[in-house]
Amino acid sequence: MTANPSLDRILRVQKVTPGTIHRSPSATVSAGGKGINVSRALHCISNKRVINSGILGGHPGKYLEYLAEQEGLHSNWYWLRGSNNVTRSCVLVSDAHHDSTVFNEEGPTIDADDWNGFVQHISSMSNEFEIIIFSGSLPVGVDPVSFASVVHGTSHIKH
């Protein structure tokens, strides 16, 4: 369960020099966010059914959903209302020495209606699973106390 997933774009360059133009001979885009990374690892090492869930929005969210499915990462997403609420992007720039610089967008601001919709989404799924893993950052607008109540609400499941 990742409440703030991202489209991760990895650019590889020879050397990062601030204030200059860089050309990347190699770039990859993948579904990202801590929860998706956990799901990816579990998918590789487990013979159990693993389902991604989280909050997605707009065309970037559709692309993330597509990329996850292409990897065999099955999903059941909560979709944000409104065309301005879109899934965030993150850019990772890696140089020849494997030093990385990361630029993370904050992501969409979640209002009370969407947060309540997401909580209902989690609740509707919670009886299907033996374990739910909550991982990653919270979107803008989500109170950590409210998030804690979601975790507490799924306490009948192993966390």
Query: Where are the chain's structural domains?
Result: 6-153
Q: pTM of the full predicted structure? A: 0.88
| Per-residue pLDDT reduced to its tens digit, 87-126 | 999 999 999 888 899 999 999 999 999 999 999 998 888 8
Compute how many other C-beta atoms are within 10 angstroms of the C-beta atom of residue 154.
18
Please tell me the distance from the alpha carbon of residue 126 to that of residue 122, in angstroms, as a whole number: 6
Q: Low-confidence residues of the chain, pLDDT below 70?
A: 83, 153-159
Q: Quick one: pLDDT at residue 155? A: 54
55: tokens are: 């909050």
Q: Domain spanning 6-153: which superfamily?
A: Ribokinase (3.40.1190.20)
What pLDDT was estimated at residue 157? Answer: 46
